Amino acid sequence: MWILQEVLLAKDLILICGSRRLDWARLEMFASTIQDLMSATGYADPFIIHLLQTKGLRLVERKQDWSRKYLNKSATIPIMIFIEEFSEWESYDPRDKVYALVGLTRDAVPIDYRLSVDAAFETVLKFAVCKTSHLHSGAKVQNFATLLADSMGVLLTPALT
């Protein structure tokens, strides 16, 4: 999860694997070219579709979106958007499903590793309901609570469902 901050906030990225190096810009160009070719030809190879759905290439797409929409602008993305977008990403500590995303937003979600996972879940859910405008309806709150609970491995109690 923490790699998201590194990638999304970096101005210049280079991927290194052993002695091999790849500029992030070339990776972006590769992903865009594949998507453009699929759109232009209508051909959707199952392997290419799978490749484009990998976490790595989805992160390339997210970084492009982030740069296009929000870089050097006063707008901010609510943390709930990041939680929804990256809920399936893995982390050793379930609290990092939220804490690793706090640096990407102006939302002041309290970070406290002394809290149990259940208590951290409740704190984030209360923050989402009380402090953001992203969740406008009861159905959105319910959907977000379910997604967050699933992401953090928390069992929802009847009072929260």
**In a shared domain, residues 57 and 83:** no
**In a shared domain, residues 22 and 85:** no
Q: In the prediction, which pLDDT does 142 show?
A: 83
Mark which of 14, 47, 69 sits at the end of a domain: 69
Residues 20, 26, 28, 32, Cα dihedral to 10°: -130
Q: In the prediction, which pLDDT does 158 show?
A: 67
Mark which of 69, 87, 116 sits at the end of a domain: 69
Q: Is residue 93 over pLDDT 90?
A: yes
> What span, in angstroms and rounded, lies between the C-alpha atoms of 104 and 6?
10
Average pLDDT, the chain: 82
When pLDDT is averaged across residues 136-151 and rounded to a whole number, the result is: 83
- Cross-strand bridge partners of residue 14: 23
| pTM of the entire predicted model | 0.71
**In a shared domain, residues 53 and 104:** no
Tens digits of per-residue pLDDT, 41-82? 887 788 888 888 888 888 888 888 777 766 655 457 778 888
User: Do the Cβ atoms of 62 and 27 come closer than 8 Å?
Assistant: no
When pLDDT is averaged across residues 143-151 and rounded to a whole number, the result is: 89
Domains identified in the chain, total number: 2
Q: What CA–CA distances, in Å, run from 17 to 5, 28, 58, 80, 148?
A: 20, 17, 19, 33, 33
When pLDDT is averaged across residues 105-109 and rounded to a whole number, the result is: 81
Domain containing 120 equals 79-160
Tens digits of per-residue pLDDT, 15-26? 888 999 989 888
Element (H, E) at 16: strand 14-17
Q: Is residue 157 over pLDDT 70?
A: yes
Element (H, E) at 21: strand 20-23
